Structure 1
């Protein structure tokens, strides 16, 4: 059901606190991703504002949050270095947005439906682990590397996720660790405390917001202590404008003279494809986290993302996608509607324009505590336990997806996970499509579901092993589809069976002969009584 104005008003008490949490999480991510992309810092903030307001208004996703994504940093940084100018790169962003709108009208959103749930859960868990790996250094006070949503094991800033994690233990700042540690413990304790409360007012107070206030308050208290407080790179850093004219100078327009540059066009195509895939995967994952299990129209989402990239590119911003970390923070903070996303974009715009000095008081270690808790929620030990109980066909794709994302990046890791999932589907198809029962010299082969060419080796092998002087019944009545290759194997077996004194009967569905030759079917009617006899004897034996 489409939300009404009354729905949005009713959800204000949930959406406004959630938007503040998402805003606080998004702020350092926008700046960090811009830094990693070798783009102007303000371009990341522009993308955050556009992702919140423009995409939020155009999208029909209830909880997804869009903005600059770490998954695109390698593509963006490479493009900025190879293209003539940043303004030329903006042309590619606008064109990528146009392509995404075309994808939406072409109904390409269905691609996301083909990703197995175990791969989506693996993607979420991997991002949770990467969040923890990325944010522990900030919690310890090592703020020398950029913040990332999805991270990457490949070098992007001063190392990679793993080296930065281990190196941080050699650069511990005791004040940052104390503030961050208290914030993190408080976050876990508060969540446990709230879960046991029946008071609705207490449940409306978002823990991440309290964590940020505690972090700012503690840092101000340390200002007059002998140890000193956190300053400089340990705090959020937002570009400040001394005048309205200087603020406007932060915006950049595309250089349209580069529109026919082949490198610009190539970059646009790559951005459109990768950004669309990441958005579809994120939407699929966030819909899975939605407590109300609402479903996002994916084709509409592609159009919304395209409109967002067109807008972002026109005013100097980075490309945007739907991003999981901000979206999951939105879910965990209790958001009910998409207005939370729009409010967060509005907050970004207003605060960056009018109160950057206040925001620059927030310690990164406090934000790290919020993100580490979010990462834990995405990669809970109970998730692995639940999927292990489901069986190896569910557990292995989950684990391999996680390992692949940690070793490569989000997109490549998901592709590897899908391939592994496909292998299990093929393996399952081998086993379920062909069912065989043997009783003495009587054989029953039952074909079920879709029997594709992939089943050719197993069917051929089983028919070849039928000994001389046997009775064989091939039951195809439960098969919806039988590949022509399989039909040929069965017909060939039936034609040559008399040479080995093998009596073969084929049972087909009267409404679907699956392409068997007329001669085979006509000869088959003569053994109608034998079909029932063999089938009854075999099934009675197996039921004893």
Structure 2
């Protein structure tokens, strides 16, 4: 008899499979990989990585966040030969996976916490724009000439003028369904995953428009052509027929090394941040061993690269759906991979009827969420310095690549800190003094509290019991950045759950970048600080929080 945990994991795994199937196909095609590549990755993430990772509710698989890197790697490495670019990119993925294993062993699992928050947000927004720039043309059934994101965006009006009506109807209706799905009042429809509803809409429309047969049709004075190989998912004749081995011949070139770094760095950051986000949603408040999880992802990527798969991460959208479906443990990830394997093995003919325009609509929707106007507004509310870092990362990424964009964002953040009065010799200095207060532990800081020296602070706090009250005194800190404060905010939830409290104080003499409670702040002037007043304020804070 199936116990309740197994039943819950089976049900959630099945529902996640329904979401993962079209997304894996869409991400593969958008990345310049064969559609089966994403399926291979998700199956490995489920059937293999499940038993190597400590993440209780995380779904492993290909993610939209790596599309920009993958498609650029295929194009740059292969030139006019997409298959060669694909094989050379597989070699890059294998090596980046091995690097992720080493990073996990070296305890780099918490790498994502060090990177400036606005730079990461800018990177994700850039990825969103890149996805939209590429997939909007697929929705209209047009093959664009441009390759760069800026060129693809500029070519949108031309694609609108030359769109294929039948394909566009499927793509636009699918996109509209994604936007209106949360507005449905019918509980049954709301519970059905949006990707499943899209398939239920798009596949019948594909039959109505006869997308499986090559033909021409006219609409008004214009003639159009339907090519099944362009507008429908193409799979190999057998499940194993799609296995492709990597080409290591260009592994030591500058381009390969660049993409090895990008896959390893960006993939690790995205995976770590996703795992942490899912831990925060876990009803049982379990915590993923991020180092062990990074090793598991690295192993998965190494295997995926060896057989023709996409790189994988801890995927947040499918993981959130997994939790909402009632998953109880990591076996839900296993079952999602198992269902994918069985479906591709037994029902590949159904997959071949899925219109590419519907898959592109899902990706455009994902891109919109990454680069939504609300994201710009939220970053702007934190402060002008954060918006500048965000926009710099976004724009430079669109004009060059992700690695250069992230580097530019970080470099600008450091320059901004210098402009705000931080001295070069202070950047790495954060002195701490611990003393016992009344029913609490007081940690007094001096120097600069920024993303650069955050790990020193985190190590200090991690060694303290979470069921006590700790007061962080920033009265003598000359500068505190948003990333540092944002990470503290995340720590406070953990203390609260364990019956303790993590309290920040000493900001009454700091000038804030905005009214946002997590904005960067700089000490006004040492001559304006009244130590007596601050001591009284500190005592009041400690007493009031008891």
Same fold (TM over 0.5): yes
8 Å contact from structure 1 (residues 215, 363) kept in 2:
yes
8 Å contact from structure 1 (residues 101, 304) kept in 2:
yes
Bigger proportion of residues as helix: 1
Q: Secondary structure at the match of 1:108?
A: coil
8 Å contact from structure 1 (residues 31, 45) kept in 2:
no
Query: Which consecutive residues of structure 1, in runs of 5 or more, have no partner in the other structure?
Result: 155-159, 434-446, 453-476, 482-533, 540-544
8 Å contact from structure 1 (residues 240, 356) kept in 2:
no
Partners of 1:176 and 1:88 lie apart in 2 by: 32
* Cα separation, partners in 2 of 1:56 and 1:400, compared to 1, 3 Å: farther
* Cα separation, partners in 2 of 1:207 and 1:423, compared to 1, 3 Å: same
Q: Secondary structure at the match of 2:234?
A: coil
Partners of 2:128 and 2:86 lie apart in 1 by: 32
* Cα separation, partners in 2 of 1:407 and 1:417, compared to 1, 3 Å: same
Partner of 1:28: 26
Partner of 1:502: none
1:276 aligns with 2:264: yes
Q: CA RMSD in A?
A: 4.5
Partners of 1:203 and 1:178 lie apart in 2 by: 23
CA shift for structure 1 position 24: 0.5
* Cα separation, partners in 2 of 1:427 and 1:12, compared to 1, 3 Å: farther
8 Å contact from structure 1 (residues 52, 343) kept in 2:
yes
CA shift for structure 1 position 172: 0.6
Q: If the length of structure 2 is used for normalisation, what is the TM-score?
A: 0.63
Q: If the length of structure 1 is used for normalisation, what is the TM-score?
A: 0.63
Query: 1:239 aligned to 235, 238, 244, which one?
Result: 235
CA shift for structure 1 position 343: 4.4
Query: Which consecutive residues of structure 2, in runs of 5 or more, have no partner in the other structure?
Result: 212-216, 427-443, 450-473, 479-527, 534-546
Partners of 2:145 and 2:291 lie apart in 1 by: 36
CA shift for structure 1 position 21: 1.4
CA shift for structure 1 position 354: 3.1
Query: 1:50 aligned to 26, 44, 48, which one?
Result: 44
Partner of 2:138: 138
1:172 aligns with 2:163: yes
Farther-moved stretch of structure 1 (26-35 vs 16-25): 26-35
8 Å contact from structure 2 (residues 41, 312) kept in 1:
no
* Cα separation, partners in 2 of 1:377 and 1:332, compared to 1, 3 Å: farther
Partners of 2:406 and 2:252 lie apart in 1 by: 27
State how 1:339-378 maps to structure 2 within 5 Å.
Answer: 341-378=333-370
CA shift for structure 1 position 235: 3.1
Aligned residue pairs total 419
* Cα separation, partners in 2 of 1:238 and 1:277, compared to 1, 3 Å: same
8 Å contact from structure 1 (residues 52, 346) kept in 2:
yes
* Cα separation, partners in 2 of 1:399 and 1:208, compared to 1, 3 Å: same
Partners of 1:90 and 1:186 lie apart in 2 by: 35
Partner of 2:14: 16
1:328 aligns with 2:323: no
Farther-moved stretch of structure 1 (326-335 vs 375-384): 326-335
* Cα separation, partners in 2 of 1:53 and 1:175, compared to 1, 3 Å: same
1:185 aligns with 2:173: no
Partners of 1:537 and 1:410 lie apart in 2 by: 46
Partner of 2:501: none
Cα distance per residue 1:50-69 (max 9 Å; x no partner): 34443344334434543384
